[in-house]
């Protein structure tokens, strides 16, 4: 696996890791083969690049600091919190804040081990 800047991506390359959008949504799944259209989307979204499967490069064991599931849950809770604030919905914001506190503890646990 190796990191390739978006401007250097080529059709036919295979993703070694998922790519997420700014709202935490999955843009492209690991194992997807890149096409011109996918590459254009990545360039339009200002994505820095992608991890590409490459058998000629020894896998460096690069992994996320926190698990994918924890990242997704955290993004969802933060988004929900700000939506509650924008809508002046204190109940939604309060519930989201409680979730964020728990998720922050989980993040601290993961990065501490």
Residue 12, both tokens: 């036919």
pTM, whole model, 2 decimals? 0.58
How far from each other are the two terminal CA atoms of the chain, in whole angstroms?
24
d(CA 21, CA 6): 14
Our CA dihedral for 101, 102, 103, 107, rounded to 10 degrees, sits at: 100
pLDDT one digit per residue (tens) for the chain, 113 residues = 899 999 999 999 999 998 887 777 788 899 999 999 999 988 888 788 999 998 776 655 556 678 878 888 888 888 888 888 888 888 888 888 888 899 999 999 988 87
When computed from its CA atoms, the radius of gyration of the chain, rounded to whole angstroms, is: 17
């Amino acid at each position: 696996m190796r990191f390739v800047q978006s401007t250097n991506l080529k059709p036919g390359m295979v993703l070694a890791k998922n790519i997420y959008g700014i709202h935490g949504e999955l843009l492209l799944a690991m194992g997807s083969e890149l096409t011109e259209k996918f590459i254009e989307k990545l360039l339009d979204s200002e994505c820095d690049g992608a991890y590409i499967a490459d058998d000629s490069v020894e896998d460096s064991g690069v992994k996320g600091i926190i698990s994918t599931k924890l990242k997704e849950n955290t993004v969802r809770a933060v988004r929900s919190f700000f939506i509650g604030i924008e809508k002046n919905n204190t109940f939604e914001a309060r519930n989201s804040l409680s979730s964020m506190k728990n998720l922050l503890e989980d993040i601290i646990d993961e990065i501490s081990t």
